Chains A and B, each alone.
Chain A
Amino acid sequence: MSALLQLSGVSRHFGGLKAVSGVDLSVERGEVIGLIGPNGAGKTTLVNLITGVHPATTGKVSFAGKDVTRQKPWQAARRGIARTFQIVQPFPEMTVLENVAAAALFAGGMAYGAHAESAALEHLRFVGLADVAATRAATLTLAMRKRLELAKGLAMNPQLLLLDEVNAGLNSSEIDHALTLIRAIAARGVTILIIEHLMKVVLNLCSRIVVLHHGELIASGDPQSIVRDARVVQAYLGRRYADASG
């Protein structure tokens, strides 16, 4: 069977800046893959290329065997590519429930009405936000907003879920909760690409890690070989990490 997501020579330039350049990557169905790299490496931009937020300057993006390089974000959403935002993006004046119902409705393909709301409530229960379903999204704490992003992502009924730093800014018990959730999502058969700074999370979840540096994919492999890779250590992890884990 062919890969779920296939990037071939994908680049994105902003003026003279090569935010992403010549990335080849293929993600298999059911895989949980980690994307790491220093700040400004181009990780978020890569997600934007996969979801049609920015068109690729060159290269090709395929999803489920189809060329989707020129797709619009709403088309990506309906095809089954969901994402969470590094900077969370709720509809502030809507209730938490309405936020998730919107995802179920427009991306998940549900009909308008009570059905979408009960599906939304189900997802809120799953991420532990059922109690605040009727509150305005703007009033949520950061940790709750991150979980709302997860619930929205799930309500989109995705085949591929792109998680952009869902744990940034969370404390360690909140991170543990998030880890449990992500593992449960993966267990449902959703393919996950997770951008993450915390090596603990990546090593815990991922069967494969790819490393982005200055927009280029410099390494790809299983977690153990990545933490020993000299270029990765130099670019990102730092000598101390290599020594400690060595």
Chain B
Amino acid sequence: MKQGVLTGLALLAILCALPLGVDSYWLRLGTTMLMYGVLAMSWNFIGGMAGYPSFASAAFFGLGAYAGAVAQKFGLSMFIAWSLAGVVAAMFAAALGFALLRLRGHYFAIASLVVAEVLREIVNSATDLTGGGKGLNLPVPQMASIDDQARFFYYAMLGVAVLAFSAVFATQRSRLGFGLRCIRQNESAADMLGVNVTLYKVNAFILSGVFVGIAGAVYASWVHYIEPPDVFDVLYSVKAIVMVLLGGAGTLYGPLVGAVLFLSLEELVWRNYISVHTGMLGLLIVLLVLFLPKGILAFRPGRA
């Protein structure tokens, strides 16, 4: 426990120091890495801890991005807009969770996959509010230089990542985390042992949505302009899953390790082979499921 806290603090110190003296390419990469980390850590709640394969990350991300953008369009300040995006994503996750989490396994996965598509269509047609297919511009924060701006968004994303990490840390040491482990291993037995399974799953789903929603809003401010196919991209859902599987489902550091590995692969390999991107992703999923069902971290002795 004590060692875990020290590891976490050391990691945080490194992440805080990272933007000093790097160029904008590395800043962008660092911000993306943190965003991926948020996606992965968040999916870990529902997919890793509860064992429900959610494809809803893209829905939460897009919803957060649009909630943040629309709030700022109506004159709310950026930080308030980001917080509001978290609230909207959480409330949406709660409602969606009560509806979808009755379904088990593959049925839940498919149902959650459709959600982002539905939201995208809604945003597309709500032209007055969202600009529809033309997209939406966001106010650019006034800063001394482009680099300052890049650093600002790096630290903003780091803040969201720290929130998500703290939530994982706390959940794993709580009644909720213990109940979720029970649910993943045998849901009906958990039910009969007194775990309010619906409530626990919905809580996991809310946790899987809230930080992704905030990250979506931060992303929207960061890139200044969003459009439906960009923020409701199903690849956000797929990447979140792949990163967690890569690093180790249900673990504390697994999703972060997975995010770093995944982003490295993406930068080194796929940028140069855009056309085979999705195919590679599919191949990676198959390989992961076949050869690394517990993730990279499981290879290290004494850790699972």
Contacts and interface: CB of A to CB of B under 8 A. Distances in A.
Given A74-B197, A106-B179, 12 more contacts: A53-B192, A73-B188, A77-B194, A78-B194, A83-B192, A102-B179, A106-B175, A106-B182, A106-B193, A106-B195, A107-B193, A156-B193
B40 to A, nearest CB: 22
Interface residues of A, number: 25
B181 interface: yes
Interface string A72-109: 11101110000101000111111000000011011110
25 contacts: A51-B192, A53-B192, A72-B191, A73-B192, A77-B193, A85-B189, A89-B188, A90-B189, A91-B181, A91-B182, A91-B190, A94-B181, A94-B182, A102-B178, A102-B182, A102-B193, A105-B194, A106-B179, A106-B182, A106-B190, A106-B193, A106-B194, A112-B175, A152-B193, A156-B194
A78 B193 CA distance: 8
Given A102-B178, A112-B178, A89 B186 contact: yes
A239 B195 CA distance: 46
B185 A92 contact: yes
Interface of B: 174-175, 178-179, 181-182, 185-186, 188-197
B194 A74 contact: yes
Contacts of A102: 178-179, 182, 190, 193, 195
A241 to B, nearest CB: 34
Given A91-B182, A91-B186, A102-B182, A77 B192 contact: yes
A93 B178 CA distance: 12
A103 B185 contact: no
Given A74-B196, A105-B175, A106-B179, A89 B191 contact: no
